[in-house]
Chain A
Amino acid sequence: MVASQARTPAAVATVAQAEDKVGWGLASPLGLAYLAFFAAPLLLLGSISLFEDNELTKLGFANWIKFLGDPFYVGAIWRTIVLGVLTVLAATVLAYPMALLFYEAAPWLRRLLLFIVVLPLLTSVVVRTFAWIVLLAREGVVNQTLLSIGLSPVPLLQTQHGLVLALMQIELPLMLLPLLAVMQGIDRSLVEASRALGASRWRTFFKVLLPLSVPGWVAGATLVFASATTAFISQSVIGGGRLVYLPSVIWQQAMVISNWPFAAVASIMLLVSVLTGIVALNAVGRFIDPAGR
């Protein structure tokens, strides 16, 4: 008893200490794995982009100059970023109503909602692509429905809006999960106070719920943007050959033409585009909610 009491201050100190210093020893196994199998391959990717020929014998910037000097490839960067932004916007428009419903819902309904949100994550991306062909094709389900209610069919497959729609299905859960987590934590009394002061539901949403939920939105939008810009299979099948995005450039250069250095350049540009987009999203988040992280 005495002995253990004697140990007490030291033990408390170690716990307290752990609060302001990173436990490098604990972090190092994962850190080393990242160094060996994450950082090293990416560095290698960077080095390969600096070779001019496929046999990796001649150093130079030829592939960088070719990529950045060609309006087609620069256009592919732009298109990829636009695709990411559109998907984020579309996902936002649909995610917020669901999040609001979730906010108001009873516990059992919340569970059901969450289940529906998670469902698409469980459907293989390969099969989902087929399902979207079925839904979006010229004589597909969506167009048949439009016809039956007296509207004229619209081209969806092989168009950008069709692709955004398809991407939204898989990306929506990525936005909703963090958003719902934040919404759950919003103090109900704030909303009630707003209404009691005579604010409409719209005003309450824009002045109270929206600003408070921004951190969740930023987290979700980041994942959506990153995932939509790199969704190779959906892009090439649903978007089709008339819309060329960076991932299909990477695939073609690496696997069809087997030009590694050029594929490496395209990969790095994809990395840079995604990171730029994410930095911008976080800036937007801070602009809307300066108090947020």
Chain B
Amino acid sequence: MKHPRPDRRQVMAGAAAIGGTALFGGSAYAKGSVTAAIYPGSWDEQYRSIVLPALKKAHDVDLALEPLFAVDQIAKAVAARGVAPFDSFVLDPGPRVTAIERGLLEPFDGKKLTNASKLAATGIDGWGAAVNSQIVGIAYNPKKLPKPKSWKDLFQEPYVSKLGLTGFQTTFGTVSLIEMAKAFGGSEANIEPIFAEIKKILSKVAAVTPPAALPGMFQQGQIDVTYTNTNNVSTLKARGVDIEFAMPEEGAITFVTTLHIAKGGENKDNAYKYIDTVISAAVQEALMKSPAGLLPTNKEVVLAGDQPIKSLDELSKLVSHDWTKINPQRAAWIERFNKEVTK
């Protein structure tokens, strides 16, 4: 009985092949194109209206955007097992670490970017380029509630009965819950306090929802306060929703979003052109001024609009996290959150 390990997968594939035919091979894409994963919603919308034409104009490359949250990108790429479903990832720090560990990313060569020098020194590394800084804090309805001051406020009236809770599936959800845990005496390593607090308020909160349903709930007045990033707040505000951003006194959270080249992607060169276009000053400025209000990483861009900070230097004063410590615990947290909030 000899079962060489790697062969099992081939056996599985072989079993699957019984049903397969050569009818539908990998589809051939047009020469000048690139498929990039993008966060759903405002990112998708703004990249479609700003980056897509810019890339076409500068390099004559067609951009196809696939809206997926970071974890979904990882899941799809892992699921694809070597056949990259898109050419470029857009990732937050946590999923980025996962993607590197799982070998989903192509090593990144910053020299291929003409705009590389315009980013901060930390903006480019061996795996990708930073394209946006995010700030996470509290979002509330100014017509219904006074401005919240601290993470702890969310757990008391008048906020708690209007609160929309969301779990650890998203980066903003994860870091917010960690900061709340800290506010109640916990740490990155020990988030026990937040589960204890959630348990206490669970019967009072207005909603526990997947992140995707938060905007709809907010708009229709089911919830009036939640935690999210400035981009989401700007987008909804631009659409006439009564929503404002508040920095908690414990400190708002910041992290950078990075673009990466997928290992096994079909259009690597075009993916570099795509990333170079995104970090160019003109595109970064347009993205910042768009309804999404995406904070730039290109130092040449002068901050404008109603950003909660006046200059990119202030970002260093905000809270950031060590994702190598968070990642190993995250799957367990997701499961734990499910179990704790279930009646």
List residues of A whose CB falls within 8 A of some B CB.
Answer: 35-37, 40-41, 43-44, 47-48, 54-57, 59, 72, 75, 130, 133-134, 137-140, 157-158, 236-237, 240-244, 252, 254-260
Contact = CB atoms under 8 A, between A and B. Distances in A.
A244 B5 CA distance: 36
B124 to A, nearest CB: 28
Contact of A75 (B15, B208, B342): B342
A161 B285 CA distance: 48
In the A-B complex, the 4 residue pairs with the smallest Cβ-Cβ separation, listed nearest first, are: A241-B208, A36-B19, A40-B19, A139-B221
A240 B334 contact: no
B207 A256 contact: no
B274 to A, nearest CB: 25
Contacts of B9: 55-57
A258 B79 contact: yes
Given A133-B213, A241-B341, A255 B5 contact: no
B40 interface: no
Given A56-B9, A139-B221, A252-B338, A237 B15 contact: no
B334 A256 contact: yes
A244 B72 CA distance: 20
Contacts of B5: 57
Interface in B184-229: 202, 206-210, 212-213, 216-217, 220-222
30 contacts: A37-B19, A40-B15, A41-B19, A44-B15, A47-B12, A47-B15, A56-B8, A56-B12, A59-B8, A72-B338, A133-B220, A137-B221, A138-B222, A140-B222, A157-B222, A158-B207, A158-B208, A237-B209, A237-B210, A237-B212, A237-B216, A240-B213, A241-B166, A242-B202, A243-B343, A255-B76, A256-B334, A258-B75, A258-B78, A260-B79
Contact of B220 (A44, A137, A241): A137
Contacts of B75: 254-258
Contact of A257 (B202, B209, B222, B331): B331
Given A40-B19, A56-B8, A256-B71, A157 B338 contact: no
Contact of B216 (A43, A57, A59, A133): A133
Contacts of A75: 342
Contacts of A133: 213, 216-217, 220, 222
B339 interface: yes
A56 B13 CA distance: 11
Given A133-B220, A240-B208, 8 more contacts: A40-B19, A55-B9, A57-B9, A72-B342, A139-B221, A241-B337, A255-B71, A255-B75
Q: Which of A41, A44, A242, A244 has the most chain B CB atoms inside 10 A of its CB?
A: A242
Contacts of B342: 72, 75, 241-244
Given A252-B334, A256-B334, A242 B341 contact: yes
Q: Which of A47, A140, A158 has the most chain B CB atoms inside 10 A of its CB?
A: A158
B123 interface: no
Contacts of A256: 71-72, 75, 169, 334
Nearest to B332: A257
A133 B213 CA distance: 9
A138 B221 contact: yes
A139 B242 CA distance: 15
Contacts of A139: 220-222
A282 B221 CA distance: 43
B216 A242 contact: no
Contacts of A236: 209-210, 213
Contacts of B220: 133-134, 137, 139-140
Contacts of A57: 5-6, 8-9
A269 B212 CA distance: 26
B217 A255 contact: no
A17 B311 CA distance: 86
Contacts of B12: 44, 47-48, 56
A237 B217 CA distance: 9
Contacts of B78: 54, 258
Contacts of B296: none
B61 to A, nearest CB: 29
B222 A242 contact: no
Nearest to B213: A237
B167 interface: yes
A49 to B, nearest CB: 12
A59 B8 CA distance: 9
A138 B206 contact: yes
B165 interface: yes
Given A133-B217, A255-B75, A256-B75, A241 B331 contact: no
Nearest to A259: B331
B16 interface: yes
A75 B343 CA distance: 10
A237 B79 CA distance: 25
B167 A241 contact: yes
B121 interface: no
Contact of B74 (A55, A137, A258): A258
A75 B338 CA distance: 12
A134 B218 CA distance: 11
B58 interface: no
